[in-house]
Homo-oligomer: A and B are copies of this chain.
């Protein structure tokens, strides 16, 4: 499952999701012809077609689907098969009501929506295995098929009785005895301690948003989130098992959101290709950049953009989030250039009924083209032409890594530490943006099991908990010469989201060579407290700061001035072996983080690629030998933007040589290819 989807196909894949089951067969050829007209070569099918496949329990009908695959094959359109489990048929939800989802506050989902099932339900999993297995057996070997998608935008936690029992079993498996649970979660106050696992409530655990709605014990909330994710993992794994018995095609799914309750890195481990549903608009393309930067590094192969808007998107009840021709092309190319190889727009032809009639499409329900047709055709044509070169020259691994974590996001949604604090926004706007601003090529690392060897410098802000194992790995990596920049708000929680009882920063203490001496909030008094670097520069901070004890071997890089911490160490450095650990006691506002990130990178031997506004993307591409052979450049602004990049190459789109410095038009895309590649 390495490299690209198929050696025989060297063009990039482009297409749309298509729901032919809503239309009479007579419409199918018209739609396929239209796809060919604009050069589309891929389509996603069947993800909601369970009722058509199994109209009555145990009665299957795949004839129509095989007919459709034949037509696709004939039209040169490759097919991603979607397993149809996001929408069970009415005979299943009626005859086996236990498969329906139970919300946190009690109500049970009704038929006629999507994702109204309980992913823990044994009954549901049984029927899912049956339909997916049957589908794999009948369709999996069809030559048109190049891949599978599991379900659709899976997410959500279930709170029904079967789930509650499963949770108690999960607890027992994890903690062994209830005494261990009580001790681990610190339940010896508020009379919280449990006598039996079955006393533990299944409280609301919708982590990942600003604040968990129900305020219950943090360790319990995290445990439930982990349990629900484990349930998703086995739900996905069951389908994969069925598919792999009959089909060799790689399996993906369309993850959604950002740092929500679904730990996509856990789920993606089971799958072959990392995929995403990502809707963007002209004002907020940069919101999506951290998603590409993190998706690129999960699998050792190009990622897939599984849903994005062909012209506009929105929640389904509005026509909105405008996205004109230039925007669609810039965003599509952004995806290819940052490491993607497939783009599926959502969706091909407007539903003629139902909840999503207003979504943007390629073709209206009456069969007319929707806006942006020329842009789609252009992207498809360019992808055909440039695909081979791009596949041979993928984006290289970065030397800078930003360590992030879903569970960190969960922790901050339990205890946001500040009004309206959202982990995903801070990562995007404070930390990832610092690299964009400096045009530092970077990877976002989203899993504690990701290897670290290739990085020269790692940044680890806002990670409440790091596992002892990861701390050991980081230490070994630093000893070999790495530079680790931790904080703010890193290391103050255990893996069970409790506080440390020996040292403030737990296992991190040894790495830092010191511990917190005083911790304090600066909320409401941001103007009284600054972090001052050797007399030259000073920055305000926010929400929470720690001052470090000054111990031998610890160099003080900055001190607090004013406030609780006045005069104490705010930023320190600690050398270990060939490397160094730098710890930030508080956030550096007023651009301080970007300035310091650049300085620390320079010290670690990592330098900016060029100069440009932070919304202009410079994207290196490298050959098999690791040499940089080109640059993608995308101006995501609606204004002209100047770019300075020292590179001898020629733009593949215009054929013009790169002058070293140039003002790009709004939403302009360049692909510079080296004049002397090797």
Contacts and interface: CB of A to CB of B under 8 A. Distances in A.
Interface of A: 19, 21-22, 48-52, 56, 84, 87-91, 93-94, 105-107, 110-114, 185-196, 199-201, 203, 211, 215-220, 281-283, 311-312, 316-322, 324, 350-355, 357-358, 364-372, 414-419, 421, 496, 498-504, 515-525, 543-544, 563-564
A89 B521 CA distance: 34
A352 B187 CA distance: 10
Contact of A319 (B311, B364, B543): B543
Nearest to A353: B186
Nearest to A203: B110
Contact of A418 (B19, B201, B320): B320
Given A320-B523, A322-B523, A90 B188 contact: no
Contacts of A520: 311, 370-371
A114 B320 CA distance: 41
Contacts of A517: 368
Contacts of A417: 317-319, 358
Contact of A191 (B51, B203, B496): B51
A353 B217 contact: yes
A217 B113 CA distance: 8
B357 A191 contact: no
Given A89-B193, A215-B355, A282-B524, 15 more contacts: A48-B191, A49-B191, A50-B191, A90-B192, A110-B203, A111-B194, A113-B190, A192-B354, A318-B415, A318-B416, A320-B418, A357-B415, A366-B500, A368-B517, A370-B518
A203 B112 CA distance: 10
Contacts of A219: 353-354
Given A189-B21, A520-B311, A217 B320 contact: no
A86 B467 CA distance: 35
Contacts of A369: 518
A219 B275 CA distance: 33
B191 A524 contact: no
Contacts of A311: 520
A576 to B, nearest CB: 23
- List the number of copies, as a whole number: 3
17 contacts: A22-B186, A22-B188, A49-B191, A52-B188, A105-B107, A111-B194, A112-B217, A185-B353, A218-B354, A317-B417, A319-B418, A319-B521, A364-B519, A366-B499, A367-B501, A368-B504, A368-B518
Given A319-B523, A499-B366, A355 B217 contact: yes
A499 B353 contact: yes
Contact of A186 (B187, B282, B352, B499): B352
A664 B530 CA distance: 27
Contacts of A415: 316-318, 357-358
B21 A188 contact: yes
Nearest to A113: B216
Contacts of A281: 524
A94 B195 contact: yes
Contact of A220 (B94, B112, B352, B543): B112
Given A191-B49, A191-B51, A366 B320 contact: no
A367 B517 CA distance: 10
Given A521-B322, A543-B319, A353 B498 contact: yes
Nearest to A319: B521
Contacts of A421: 318
A442 B218 CA distance: 46
Contacts of A318: 415-419, 421, 523
Contact of A201 (B48, B112, B320): B112
A90 B19 contact: no
Contacts of A218: 353-355, 357
